[in-house]
Amino acid sequence: MDRTLANFIRALRNSDVRISTAETLDAFNAVELVGYRDRAFLKRSLSLVLPKTEQEKETFDTCFDQYFKFTDVKGERKAANDESEEGDEQGEGQGGGDGQGGEAQGNNRGQSGAPSGKKGKGSNYLIEEEVEEDLGPGALAEAQSPLGQLLMQNSKVELSVQMSAAGEAVDVRDIQVFTQKGLFTRRIMEEMGLNDLNREISDAREARAIPQRRLGQELRRRRDWLREQVRDYVERQFLLHADSTGKRLREDLLRKVKLSNIEHRSFRLIQEIVFRMAKRLASLHSRRKKVFKRGALNISRTLRHNMSYDGVIFDLHWKSVKIDRPKVFAICDVSGSVANYARFMLMFLYSLEEVMPKVRSFAFSSDLAEVTELFERNKLEDAISKTLRDYAGGSTDYGQALEDFKRTCLDQVDNRTTIIILGDARNNYGDAKQEILKEMYDRCKRLIWLNPEPRNSWNVGDAEMRKYGPYCHQVDECNSLMHLERIVGNLLRVVN
């Protein structure tokens, strides 16, 4: 039962319900007190110790109902179950060893089974397609394989237990994507003894004895029925364990794929990833902005504060270095080839306002314009959209953009300033004006150039990286969210 609760907590965490180790121990203590007998009581007890927010409570209710849904495997049709049960009662009433009871039972099963020779849609197993021979009513031979015996016993509870045990054995909880359902269905069937059952069915088909051949037909029908039950079980496990995992897989993919290749319909998910990355970086770097150097004693301050004690040193004062928050200038090429990169870099920088509040943004394709006030007046997504709409036209001219920057705000760049330039440095064979970039390099603390193109393309055609690169403290390839997160994280570590 400890494993049952541990797996349930794992499913909750997979559904983004935050559960600490202490809360897990509380849940085990609660289950030890209330037990598993009363389902409603168990649900109320666990809801007190595991979920915390209103949203988590809703997720908990859904997850609990799915996880603790104890349903037996179902028969193919209700009428078939009724006939089978009636046949069993007749067999028990007749008792004798002449096999008449089994004959009637076999007849009823044969009539209630799936249509002869039907091939299940999407099946991963070889199913006989030829029309079954009508062997008529009669006695059935005894099944020899363990799974065959279990199927012929009509023990639905035992089948459910075996199915769950096989699911544990093949780690069905590790299912991640919808297309793996067939794979795990086959693994569970094999764990339950499918191979031995298939051999018994094959041998029964080739047997001369009619009861043995009837057994083969019946086992084949019950095998197909069991496959459907296993497929339903795997689908429930997928919904329980893989919903959030599938989302995380998509997020991991979007973190690594080039931003220029991302479809527009994925932008909303990308924005969620950016905000989550920014929140993580903010929590990492929003510590106190003073670093105390233990061991570096501030002698003058210590003596001054201890004068009232006649020179006796009671209070020690240590030297400290106050580190200011960074002042960042972000210059973004928003021409068509790099517009998406600019979109998400601006989103990233402005999501870090807690630790990076002094961000001034500039956009250009030819003429440079400051868009800082645009971000202050509008929501972040709206400001980015307006920036791309208003400044993305025109032929790219890095020389003109650098000249505009020098004229408007080069005097405001000092040794606390970090300048980030995002662009592919493709200047349409115009004047690069790298001497202006050198002035910026000499004045600022750090100048970082992020190029979305591969390094082997930086000096091909009209690209000017060979001229701009020497006047940058750092030049990096940056064409995915993973690159952007790493670069901004390194920036925060350096400037803080």
Range of lowest pLDDT (17-31, 129-143, 415-429): 129-143
- Read off the pLDDT of each residue in 266-274 and give the average, rounded to a whole number: 73
**367-379 pLDDT, tens digit each:** 899 988 888 888 8
- Read off the pLDDT of each residue in 159-178 and give the average, rounded to a whole number: 78
Residue 293: what pLDDT? 46
Sequence-separated (6 or more) residues with CB below 8 Å from residue 348: 274, 277, 278, 484, 485, 488
To which H or E segment does residue 45 belong?
helix 39-49
Lay out the sheet containing 368-370: strands in order across. Answer: 368-370, 358-364, 327-333, 417-422, 446-451, 474-477
Beta carbons of 467 and 433 less than 8 angstroms apart: no
- Greatest alpha-carbon pair distance for the chain in Å reads 116
Query: Which of 337, 453, 345, 429 has the alpha carbon at shortest distance from 392?
Result: 337
pLDDT at 196 over 50: yes
Q: How far is CA 377 from CA 321, 345, 364, 373, 438, in A?
A: 35, 19, 20, 6, 33
Burial classification of residue 98, based on how many CB atoms lie within 10 Å of its CB (0-12 exposed, 13-18 middle, 19 or more buried): exposed
Range of lowest pLDDT (61-75, 146-160, 412-426): 61-75
Q: Is the dihedral of CA 481, 483, 486, 492 positive or negative?
A: negative
pLDDT at 473 over 80: yes
Sequence-separated (6 or more) residues with CB below 8 Å from residue 259: 270, 340, 341, 343, 344, 452, 479, 480, 481
CA distance 167 to 5: 16
Residue 88: what pLDDT? 41
Query: Which of 56-65 are b and which e, b meaning 16 or more Cβ less than 10 Å from the residue's Cβ?
Result: beebbeebbe
Residue 467: what pLDDT? 93
According to DSSP H, which parts of 339-450 are helical?
339-350, 372-377, 380-391, 398-409, 434-443
CA distance 96 to 419: 95
**444-463 pLDDT, tens digit each:** 988 999 998 888 889 888 88
Q: Which residues pair with 250 in a beta bridge?
A: none
Q: Can you give the C-alpha Rg of the chain in angstroms?
A: 35
pLDDT at 92 over 80: no
Residue 433: what pLDDT? 92
Q: What is the number of residues in the chain?
A: 496
- Read off the pLDDT of each residue in 260-269 and give the average, rounded to a whole number: 65
Residue 64: what pLDDT? 83
Confidence of residue 110 (pLDDT cuts 50, 70, 90): very low
Amino acid at 432: A
- Read off the pLDDT of each residue in 334-349 and give the average, rounded to a whole number: 80
Range of lowest pLDDT (27-31, 311-315, 399-403): 311-315
**280-313 pLDDT, tens digit each:** 776 665 554 444 445 577 788 888 888 888 777 8
pLDDT at 17 over 50: yes
pLDDT at 186 over 50: yes
Q: Which residues pair with 364 in a beta bridge?
A: 333, 368
Range of lowest pLDDT (78-82, 255-259, 472-476): 78-82
Report the range out of 50-64, 270-284, 464-478 with the highest average pLDDT.
464-478
Range of lowest pLDDT (110-119, 217-226, 230-239): 110-119
Confidence of residue 466 (pLDDT cuts 50, 70, 90): very high
List Cβ<8 Å contacts ≥24 apart for 465-471. 465/425, 467/432, 467/434, 468/398, 468/425, 468/432, 468/434, 468/437, 471/434, 471/437, 471/438, 471/440, 471/441, 471/447
SS3 137: coil
Task: Give me the residue label for tokens 């021409």.
Answer: 335
CA distance 6 to 87: 43
Beta carbons of 402 and 437 less than 8 angstroms apart: yes
Q: Which two tokens stand for residue 463?
A: 């690209």
The average confidence (pLDDT) of the chain is 75
